[in-house]
Every structure is written in structure tokens, then in C-alpha cells.
Structure 1
Amino acid sequence: MNRKTLVMPAVLGLLAPVLAACGGSDEASGDGKPIVIGTTDAFVSTSDYPAPFDPALAYEAGAWNILRNTFQTLMALPRSGGDPVPEAAEKCGFSDQKNESYRCTLHGGMKFANGNDLTSEDVKFSVERTLSIKNPNGPVSLLANIDTVETPSDTEVVFHLKSPDATFPHKLATPAAAIVDKDSYDGTKLREGFAIDGSGPYTIDTQEEKGEVVSAVFNKNPNYRGNLKLKNDKVEMRFYSDSGAMEKALQKGSIDLMTRTMSPDQVDRLERGSSENIELKEMPGQEIRYLAFDTNDSTTGKKAVRQAVAQVVDRQALVRDVYERTAEPLYSIVPSSVGSHVNSFFNKYGDPDVTEARKTLREGGVDTPVELNLTYTTDHYGSATAKEFKTLQAQLNRSGLFDVSVKGVPWKKFRPAQSNREYAAYGMGWFPDFPDPDNFIDPFFAKDNFLNSPYRNDTIRTQLIPQTRQQAQRTAAAEDFEKAQDIVADDVPVLPLWQGKQYVAARDDITGVEWALNSSSVLQLWELSRGIGA
């Protein structure tokens, strides 16, 4: 079978059954041979990040892909994305007109993989634990609007919110609300290492060397009781230091499938047919990349400097020269594939204009050239990141308005330093927690934001975000979301650069690959099975 690229259009989700469980056969492949997945994600236990798989700390796409397959949440995204549906719960819904009280009923007779009973008390414990630990690098902001949690019975749990929030069901579908065993986790501190006690579709066995995971085996959880149907009994995940080594393993047959992160040249090579036994699948995605600025820094704290950067950066050239066809220019913090998107940065700054940037700096009383250091992570977003920052450096320096240096730092050092505000300007990526514009506004601009940014805008924080959350019909919130995007374009606490597509490459005997990732980049291991190659 000749290799081919299959593009999975977003409209396909409209034709799919609501639950991820309902497509195809419910039979799990039983030949005993695990499906092997390659990835460049790295999981290291350090003093700054001691518990990579603890739901109270984990808050990045790679770790969440582990958690989504080993823990349960009350709600879950269906296979194609969209509104969440019950998973550990039989049913959930708001019990008031103001979207301030949310009630769920769990399946009866639930157990964790270790055999312990799972009740509403475990749900309450899990949520209150994350709120109590309140790790600054964790997902606590997603649960911060919870006021109290009640458990009327072993199968009922009620969340009382501090303020209305129509997006709350989406938040319960994220690993921030993963249900942990109250008898295995401490309620006041993180669980160090890589052990997991969950009730999800798989259990996990990890192999570690020097505090780093080198492989992980996912075995079907016999105690799993939820709405997913597993199409395999075992999946193995292997971790590679770079995408080149991962591709070689796929070509040799050492692995069956590779996903994040593939370089643009790999995508191009596979698309052109470098192997007749490998298929490349392209799927819609909502990944974004952006520059973030410390608005308290002596240089980037000046609005004129940030605006001048926005006026000089050429996104079209960036995606052409670095990412080819695998990315598209992005002119808002909300990607174009999400509702309420507006091209706020293009509307304000238009095409790159050095003359206007020079005027902005002059009117802001800023001497040129502006010395600026851009920091990026070397091993978290793919091998093309270094070239991306060299390209940004060249664009800014070529204007004559900036004297830019760039520095690459490994993720295990980069993330804590970024959170501690040690960088004036730095590159970050964002894979959405859920497909709603709220998730591209609140995590960056709320009080306890994901970046630990000092930037504050009271209009966004106290008016626009609360107003949008009162709208159960999300299209009714569009005007407020557009206002927030315009404010961001004017203040430039972050500078959106590009929006990515998703790719999976797999050997031709692996089926279900088209559902391996949903629109929010969730890795759905349960969809994969082994068929017959041609």
C-alpha cells in the first residue's frame, strides 16, 4: 500500500457518534502484541517538578495524555471534540438557572485499578486536594471557581461555584479534575515519582532511568467502568530524544505510530511518500505558539517595546521559512478554528512595518536599538523551535530597532524559571484544555494565570471573563471575547505567532489512527487497534 496523506476535516466530527466508544468494533485486538507509540515527550522527576503524573501538578500536553488514559474524570470530550459527555458519571448538569450549581451522578459499583471503591468522596477529595496544594505550575486555576463540594450519597456530588460558569463541564473533563484514590494520595502534598492510582481505561507501568521515564506500558484496566470501549489490550509508549530517532524507529518497525513532535521536514518527507508502508494523517488542531513578555521588566515592561515587536514580526515569513505548510500565521491569542476569533493583531498593526515601529518607540521615549533577549525551550516543542527563534532574531535585528540575542534552555529548567519571571521575553506553546475561547483568555489573563504573568487588565479579568461565563449559548459571548482580544492586541502581554496542525504517522496495519488525536490534542489510545497491512 502506497503511503498517503489523509486529511481529517473538522466536519467529520459532525458525522461521528457522540461517544468515543461508539465507532467501529468494540472488540479489543487480542494477539498479545502491544501497539507501540513513539513520542519526543520527556518526563523527568526533579526537585522543581517532583510529580510529573500528579493531577495537582501536571499541566502540559504530554503529561495530560498520560493522565487522560489512566485517570477518569466525571466528564470527557467525545472522540471528535465538542461539548463534553459523561464518563465516570452517568449524568451531570446544572441544577439552577444561573450556572452556579452543578450536580453529577456516578456509575454504581465503581473501583480504582487497585481494587479500592470509588465514590463521590474520592471526587470531593481529588478536587479539594488540588485546590489545597495550589501548585503555581499546576492546573489549579481551572478549579479555582469552586466554592464548596457536597456529597449527598456515595454516587452523588454537587459543586457549588463562586460565580456562574457555563464552561464548568469542560473543566470537569480535564485532568485537573482527575479522580484519585483518597487512600493512596496525600491531601496536602504531591505524590512524588511516576506512580498512578486511577480508575481510567488503562493502568500504567513505567521504566525509568536516572529519574526519567524511558518507556511506559498501558494495560487494559479490568476494573474500568466508564463509557469508553477499548479496541486494544495493551499499548507501549517509547520516548525519544529527537524526532529523527523516532522516525528511524518507525521506518524499521520498532514502533507502530509516532506523534508529537514531528518536524516540518519530516511531515513533508512522509507526505511525498518516503515509505510505502507508512501513512501520514493530518487532523485539525488548536495548538498555538506565542511570545510572552514580563510586563514588569525594565525593557519589556514598556508597552512601546512590545508594540514595536508586534509591528516588526513577520508571521507569514516565519511559517514559510520554518514551518512550511504545517502551521498558519496567527493574529489573535484565540485560534481561527475556535469560535469568536478575530484577527485583532492584524487589525491593529497590519503588515510588518518598520517605519511605524520606529515611530512607536520614539513616541514611547525608547532609545534604539533596544537590547532584548528571547528565551526558548530546547526540548519541549520540537526541533524546529531553535530555527524559529533564530528567524525571529533575524527579523527584529534586520529592522535596526533591536539588538536581539536568543538562548535555549531545557524544559525542566525553563518552566520553573519562566514561572519565577526570570525571562523578559520567552516562547511558549498552548494546547487547549477544552475547545472554547474562554480557555485562550482566562489561563493567560486571570489573576492566578498559567504564566504567572504580572500583567493585569481589570476589564478582561473582572468584566469580560465573568460576562462570557454567564452565556450558556457560547455564541452570545462573542462580542465580549472580541473585546478581550482587541485589548490584548493593544497591550501585547503576549504576541501570538502561529497556529499548528496535527499529524500522526503510522504503519499501515494500525487502525483507528484517524481518531488517535482529537481537536484538543487528546491522545486517545483506546481507539487504536491492529489490522492487516497491505
Structure 2
Amino acid sequence: MFNRLRLTAAALALCATPAFAAQDTITIGMVLEPPNLDPTAGAAAAIDEVTYANIFEGLTRFGPDGSIQPDLAKSWDVSEDGKVWTFHLQDGVTFHDGTPMTAEDVKFSLDRARAKDSANAQKALFAGIDSVDVVDPLTVKVTLKQPNGNFAFNMAWGDAVIVSPKSIDHEATDPIGTGPFKFVDWVKGDRVDIARYPGYWGAPAKLSKATFKFISDPTAAFAAMMAGDVDAFPNFPAPETLEQFKADPRFKVIVGSTEGETILAMNNRNPPLDNVKVREAIAHAINRADIINGAMFGYGTPIGTHFAPHNPDYVDLTGLSKYDPALSKKLLAEAGVTNLKLRLALPPPTYARRGGEIIAAELKKVGIDTEVTNVEWAQWLKQVFKDHDFDLTIVSHTEPMDIGIYARPDYYFGYDNPDFQKLIAKLDVTSDPAERSALLKEAQTIIAKDYVNAYLFQLAKTGVANAKIEGLWKNAPTQANDLTKVYWQD
């Protein structure tokens, strides 16, 4: 009896002490591999998906609900005329190489982003800055050319993160930021590894390590989740399998909204796409329901302009480009276009590859042939985005409230409307909420009536995760896999 009691006591002691520490590492699945890891010098959403809030931080940041929150700036003051923004910085912030982050680094980052030779993909965010001045090590003053009530929003973008002049030459391959995770390794074609930064100025991350695993094939993504090789896939590429995950208690399916306007972009520079009737004909040839059901298995909200339906200023303009093949043929005849053949470049995401097949078939029904080319992401960025060598392409614009891109004639789809540019310039200096709302609605209507692009659907955020993981974003107010509050339940 004594021996039995002693053994029982020993067993209870063992039970009181966990045999294993709680899991604190995670593997995140991603469809696309980033072309580089410097969010201030690249347009690919995958860059922010790895680095935003994890490695790099800005003066402000987007919260999971889309709100603008303090980040490296703990607070800010705005002058009565709305032109001078004074940011008060967090104390004790260091870059991952141990050097202090000060107002000098903020000045360097903003001046670099707005320079004439800037490679920043969202240079327009900084165009309104007149000067950046260091008041003291923890205070920086930004003077704008005109008032901009949206400046704190602009500073929350991944393109506006704060970088160090000491590490800028190798940010693309060895990023050094101020975030709760530091860069560890990048195995090209496979993964990026990050680890908790012990010198972080804020609340430390609960995860000690994280790996971003690149899996573009939907079948392989499904297999990786099922095998436990990937713990979470926040933007899962195989929506047709979500019902299987819903039925399996090992997993949770997380469905939310994104800022991703998914469009059939048209190169407005190229004849005959420079003719609005031809662009309208293409828009009426496409059945949005076919694409949402056929490519996304019902996940997605139809849109008729470049604006998120969950935004209170959204205008439903889908009726302007309703599915009407007969009208498409009529418009093409009026434009004098026959035997039209267009090049359709499709990047890797499921919505593009599957949606492209459906769109090509529907265009053929109205007399438009397409030469379909599947391109990898790096090739898309160079050929389509940078060199403008395309006719049609399908892409989801996941940047937050980015209708201002239509005011940039040099942007990849080449829309050049001086009236629209004036409207956006007016919006930039308008602070009154009612006036801003009216201008945003007018902007949406202009591009819809100009049929700049064919607007397909708002990308849903369909994610799959191990049921024990908490803290992942449900919605995507920006393109990010923010791991700052992610943890495993016991």
C-alpha cells in the first residue's frame, strides 16, 4: 500500500508540472512569395504580408478593425490650419541591430519616400509633404503643402514604415525594423523565418518564432494543412475545400472581408482599349456571378467600382456594367472593332488563374479572342506593373481605400483623366466628413462610367487555422499577417 501511495503521489507531482511547454511557434501558409522584403520599395502585397507590424512599424498602424492606432508615434498634434503635424515618438525604441530609433530616422524615411528618385510604390502618400524637421530626438514635425485630414491614415500604410539609414542598402534581403519580430532567414522558393526580438519597446510577442511557408498550388495547400505542416493559412487558396475544414474539429475556418478590389485591369494606353466603348463592351461581357461561383466557390461580393462594399461611402454601381453580351456586341460594332485579340496575363493567385479561364470564355462569346499567359509574380510586377506590357490582367488591389491610384496617369492601367485628378486633389485637402463622403462617391462614379477597368468582386478573406490558434485577423484592413497578438490556446 505504501509503495502504491508513493507512486500515486509521484504521478500527481508529474501531472502538476507540464511535461511540455506551451507551443509558441507557428507556420503560416502564403500563396505568393515576396519579391523582396522592403515594403518601402516594392508593390507586392506579399511583402507586407510578411513584414507589416511584425518586422517593420510606422508612425501609425491599422488595427484589425481598420482603425488608425498609434505605433512608433505615441501621439500627435495638428495645427489649426491642418498643415503641421507634430509626432511624439515612443521612448526606448531600437532597431533590430540595437541602434536607437529617433526622429532622425523618421525624417530619413519620409524624405526618402518622397524623393524624386524614390522607388516607393505609393509615392503619392508622401507627395503632400513640404518639409520634415527634427524638433528633438523624440519629436518630429511634418509640414504639409496643404491640409490633409487623412495624413494619419497615410502613415499607417506598409509603404510608410520607418527604416534606418544604416541598414537601408540591404533591407530587401536582410530587413532590420523596430517590430516585435526580427528577420532570421529567407530560403528562396520555400520560406521566411522570423523570431521574437528581445529588445522590443512594446508588449512582447507571445510567439517565439514564426515561419512563412510559400505554397501557391491549392492542392498542396490543402495537403499541408491536413498534414499539420502548416498551422494557419490566412488567405487560403482552395475555397472549394473549406466545407471539409468546417466539418473537421481540428480546424477553424475564418471568413471575413478585405480591401481587395479584384479587377480585370485594362491597359487604357493601348488601342483599342483607349476607346471607352471597347472597355464598356468588355465589362458587359463578364458575368460576375460566374466568376465568384466558378473561381471562388461563392466567396466574394460583386462590385461595380474600385471601392470596398463594407465602406460606408460605397456606391453600388454594378448596374452600370451588368452582364449583357448583346450590348457588348453592339458597342464593339459601334467602335468599329472586329476580330479583336487581346493578351491576358494571369498572375498565380487562384482568383486570377481560375477567373481568367472563365473571362476568356465569356469574351470569346462576344467576339474577343484572348491570348492567355500564366506569369509568375515577379514577372507580373516587371512586365505588367512596371513596363505596362499587357492588354488585360486580373489582380486584387488589397491596399486600403486606394481609389487615388486612378489619379496617377503613370499607373499600370494608364488612366489619364484631368477632372478625376482635380477631384482627388480636392479630396486630399478636405477634412469635413460629409464633403469627403460626397467626393468619394463622385470619384467612384467617374471611374465606373469611364469603364477604366472591369470591376469583378471584393475579395473575401477565407482563412483556415488550427482550432487552438487565437489572435489571427478575421478581416484584412490592409495586406498583413499581423502576428503581434497571436498565440496557442492550452
Give me the TM-score of the superposition, normalised by structure 2: 0.89
| Corresponding residue of 1:375 | 345
Tell me if 1:412 matches 2:369: no
Output one character per residue of 1:99-145: Cα deviation in whole Å (capped at 9) or x when no partner. 32211010123211211011100011111122237455723222222
CA contact (8 A) 1:373 1:404 kept: yes
Amino acid at match of 2:465: A
Deviations along 1:213-259, one digit per CA (max 9) or x if unpaired, are 52222222122224x55232222222224232232222122222112
Of the three residues 396, 402, 427, the one matched with 1:468 is: 427
Q: Does the residue aligned with 1:325 lie in a helix, a strand or coil?
A: coil
- Which range is displaced more, 72-81 or 112-121? 72-81
Distance 2:410 2:136 in 1: 33
Secondary structure at the residue paired with 2:115?
A: helix
2:83 is matched with which residue: 100, 119, 140?
Answer: 100
Quote the residue 2:178 is aligned against.
199
How many Å separate the matches in 2 of 1:373 and 1:278?
41
Partners of 2:168 and 2:337 in 1: CA distance:
54
The amino acid across from 1:458 in the alignment is P
CA displacement at 1:448 relative to structure 2: 5.1
Match of 1:58 in 2: 42
Mapped to 1, the partners of 2:354 and 2:224 lie a distance apart of 24
Aligned AA (1:471): T
2:26 maps to: 35
- How far did residue 327 of structure 1 move? 1.2
Please list, as runs of the form range in 1=range in 2, the aligned pairs for 1:226-305 lying within 5 A after superposition.
226=202, 230-271=205-246, 273=247, 275-305=248-278
> Once the two structures are superposed, what CA deviation does each residue of 1:413-435 show, in whole Å capped at 9, x if it has no partner?
11111121110222221112x3x
Partner of 1:335: 308
Select the residue among 401, 404, 408 that pairs with 1:442.
404
Is residue 426 of structure 2 the alignment partner of residue 455 of structure 1? no
Per the TM alignment, residue 467 of structure 1 is displaced from its structure 2 partner at its CA by 2.4
For residues 447-480 of structure 1, the C-alpha deviation after alignment (integer angstroms, 9 at most, x for no partner) is 554x3x4321111112x11222333343432222
**Is the CA contact 1:199–1:223 (under 8 Å) kept in the aligned structure 2?**
no
2:265 and 2:389 mapped to 1: Cα distance? 12
> CA 1:343 to 1:136, structure 2 compared with 1: closer, same or farther past 3 Å?
farther
Question: Hey, what's the Cα distance between the residues in 1 that align with 2:154 and 2:334?
Answer: 43
Distance in 2 between the 1:520 and 1:430 partners?
Answer: 10
2:167 is aligned with 1:184: yes
Taking the TM superposition and a 5 Å limit, the aligned residue runs for 1:336-355 are 336-346=309-319, 348-349=320-321, 351-355=322-326
For residues 43 and 33 of structure 1, the distance between their equivalents in structure 2, rounded to whole angstroms, comes to 25
Cα distance, 1:521–1:181 mapped onto 2, change above 3 Å: closer
Gaps of 5+ in 2: 1-19
Amino acid at match of 2:395: M
Change (3 A) 1:60 1:517: farther
Q: 1:224 aligns with which of 191, 200, 222?
A: 200
> Which of structures 1 and 2 has the bigger CA Rg?
2
Letter in 1 for 2:341: E
Q: Is the 8 A contact 1:518 1:524 kept in 2?
A: no
CA–CA separation in structure 2 for the residues paired with 1:296 and 1:43: 28
Code of the aligned partner of 1:396: L
The separation in 2 between residues aligned to 1:213 and 1:135, in whole angstroms, is 28
Q: In the alignment, which residue of structure 2 is the partner of 1:391?
A: 358
Report the equivalent of 2:466. Answer: 507
1:165 is matched with 148
> Conserved in 2, the CA contact under 8 Å of 1:516 and 1:525?
no
**For 1:178 and 1:140, how far apart are their aligned partners in 2?**
13
Q: Does 1:526 align with 2:484?
A: yes
SS of corresponding position for 1:319: helix
Matched to 1:36, the amino acid is T
Distance 1:517 1:332, change over 3 A: closer
Aligned-residue sequence identity (percent) comes to 21
Q: Which amino acid aligns with 1:221?
A: Y
* Structure 1 range deviating more: 113-122 or 58-67: 58-67
> Against the structure 1 CA distance between its residues 330 and 116, is the aligned structure 2 distance closer, same or farther, given a 3 Å change threshold?
same
The one-letter code of the counterpart of 2:408 is A
Q: 1:31 to 1:270 in 2, by over 3 A?
A: closer
**Partner residue of 1:489?**
448
How big is the shift at 1:30? 6.5
Which of 41, 45, 60 pairs up with 1:75? Answer: 60
Give the structure 2 partner of residue 498 of structure 1.
457
Distance across 2 between alignment mates of 1:352 and 1:495: 11
CA contact (8 A) 2:50 2:212 kept: no
Deviations 1:169-210 (A, max 9, x none): 111111212111222225xxxx365201111111011132xx
- Tell me the distance in 2 between the aligned counterparts of 1:406 and 1:474: 44
* Most deviating of 314-323 and 387-396: 314-323
Q: Is the 8 A contact 2:42 2:119 kept in 1?
A: no
Indicate how the Cα distance of structure 1 residues 71 and 335 shifts in structure 2: closer, same or farther if over 3 A, else same: same
**C-alpha spacing 1:117/1:446, structure 2 compared with 1 (3 Å):** same
Residues 530 and 32 of structure 1: CA distance in aligned 2, closer, same or farther (over 3 Å): closer
- C-alpha displacement at 1:148, in angstroms? 1.1
Quick one: distance in 2 between partners of 1:496 and 1:409?
Answer: 21
Rounded to whole Å, the distance in 2 between the matches of 1:269 and 1:288 is: 27
C-alpha distance in structure 2 between counterparts of 1:261 and 1:134, whole Å: 37
Question: What does the per-residue CA deviation read over 1:4-51, in whole Å, with 9 as the maximum and x for residues that have no partner?
Answer: xxxxxxxxxxxxxxxxxxxxxxxxx9746412212222134xxxxxxx
The residue type paired with residue 34 of structure 2 is F
Which residue in 1 is equivalent to 2:3? none
Using a 3 Å threshold, how does the CA distance of structure 1 residues 31 and 531 change in structure 2: closer, same or farther?
same
Q: Which amino acid aligns with 2:201?
A: R
Whether the 8 Å contact between 1:56 and 1:135 is mirrored in structure 2 is no
C-alpha distance in 2 between matches for 1:134 and 1:167: 25
CA contact (8 A) 1:327 1:498 kept: yes
The residue that corresponds to 2:9 in the other structure is none
